[in-house]
């Protein structure tokens, strides 16, 4: 599977930028905008948020969470440091917002690639299973995981956030599809969530074990995801 460029690239321009002390006039851009136009519109507020999240993502993946400075993030996003504090409160909360934003972006991009969700129950689970292995193969996710492996307490915070936001989100999606897909069955599953956890564990465990030693082609990952769903359905009576 070809590697996609990520913000983890250790380029000299990023190192130089990371060392820059934000100039007051740059960091106050958002304040100047508000003084000129009053309260920001919804669109302006979204633009400010995306600028902050993009700058934070770049710093976290380039330098790690501990070394990332809110002053530099604010300068690169062209907002004041107080704007970041008022929106997120702490660096950990900003990190969580970055991860949540990226997971949402991966989902949107994946849906655009795969097309609409099918109607058939089994095909819907295959659709979701394929989306999971695609996300696991994301170079950006792997960059976050590299930060986890090289960070201390902050690495644990990223791991926790990825689990709470990404892992649980996938399990909830599987669980909801299982509930909907079996609502007319005479014998409903004893625990849709447990079945969803088994499905997720099969996908994540396989991908983690193989990706440590080789690149996994997208076609192979899709074939494996489909097979996992087939095996799951073959054991339907045990649900």
Q: Which two tokens stand for residue 125?
A: 């689970």
Q: Where in the chain are the domains?
A: 12-89, 94-238
CATH no., domain 94-238: 1.10.357.10
Does 173 score more than 80 pLDDT? yes
Whether 198 and 227 have beta carbons less than 8 Å apart is answered as no
Instruction: Give the pLDDT mean for 62-67.
Output: 82
Whether 193 and 171 have beta carbons less than 8 Å apart is answered as yes
Q: What is the pLDDT of residues 75-86, one digit of tens each?
A: 999 999 999 999
Q: Which two tokens stand for residue 105?
A: 């972006």
pLDDT at 227: 98
Confidence band for 150, pLDDT divided at 50, 70 and 90: low
Confidence band for 172, pLDDT divided at 50, 70 and 90: very high
Tell me what percent of the residues of the chain surpass a pLDDT of 90: 45
> Greatest CA span in the chain, whole angstroms?
67
Mean pLDDT of the chain: 81
Supply the DSSP symbol for 161: H
Tell me what percent of the residues of the chain surpass a pLDDT of 70: 79
pTM for the predicted model, two decimal places: 0.66
Instruction: Specify which of 30-34, 133-137, 151-155, 159-163 reaches the highest per-range mean pLDDT.
Output: 133-137
Instruction: Give the pLDDT mean for 146-172.
Output: 72
Listed residue (132, 128, 129, 117) closest to 228, CA to CA: 129
Q: What is the pLDDT of residues 4-52, one digit of tens each?
A: 433 333 444 444 444 443 433 334 455 444 444 567 788 888 899 999 9
Question: Tokens 């062209």 correspond to what residue?
Answer: 78
């Amino acid at each position: 599977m070809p590697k996609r460029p990520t913000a983890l690239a250790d380029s000299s321009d990023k190192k130089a930028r990371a060392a820059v002390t934000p100039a007051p006039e740059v960091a106050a851009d958002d304040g100047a905008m508000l003084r000129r136009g009053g309260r920001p519109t919804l669109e302006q507020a979204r633009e400010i948020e995306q600028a902050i999240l993009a700058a934070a993502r770049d710093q976290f993946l380039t330098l790690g969470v501990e070394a990332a400075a809110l002053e530099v993030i604010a300068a690169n996003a062209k907002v004041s440091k107080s704007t970041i504090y008022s929106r997120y409160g702490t660096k950990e909360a900003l990190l969580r917002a970055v991860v949540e934003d990226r997971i949402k972006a991966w989902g949107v991009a994946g849906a655009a690639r795969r097309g609409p969700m099918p109607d058939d129950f089994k095909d819907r689970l295959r659709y979701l299973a394929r989306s999971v292995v695609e996300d696991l193969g994301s170079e950006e996710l792997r960059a976050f995981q590299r930060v986890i492996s090289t960070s201390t307490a902050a690495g644990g915070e990223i791991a926790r956030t990825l689990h709470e936001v990404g892992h649980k989100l996938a399990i909830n999606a599987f669980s909801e599809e299982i509930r909907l897909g079996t609502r007319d069955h005479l014998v409903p599953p004893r625990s849709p969530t447990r079945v969803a956890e088994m499905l997720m564990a099969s996908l994540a465990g396989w991908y983690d074990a193989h990706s440590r030693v080789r690149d996994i082609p997208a076609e192979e990952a899709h074939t494996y995801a489909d097979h996992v769903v087939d095996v799951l359905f073959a054991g339907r009576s045990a649900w």
